[in-house]
Amino acid sequence: MATRIVTIASSVGLHARPASLFVQAANATGLDIEIGRPDEESVDATSILGVMALGARHGEQIVLTAEGDGADEALDSLVELLSRDLDAE
């Protein structure tokens, strides 16, 4: 299982537009990806409801995990996405 830790860069956190862009990217990988806070239960990263319910805020660290072929590359691209202020783009 591949794992990455990333700090949410979007000014509104992982809400609305940033959450939607993240979920679309996670779905595009075709992999089983989860997102959550360190030491807490994670949620399905391909579920907009799950991601928004997580309530990850600007500056907060989250953990991404993925399984399957290409998991490392998929997580690297998702980390790059979350490391940008998606609201400013």
> Of residues 8, 13, 14, 15, which has the active-site annotation?
15
Q: How far apart are CA 19 and CA 37, in angstroms?
A: 15
Which residues on neighbouring strands pair with residue 19, listed in sequence order?
Answer: none
Question: Is 15 designated active site?
Answer: yes
Q: How far apart are CA 12 and CA 74, in angstroms?
A: 24
Active site residues: 15
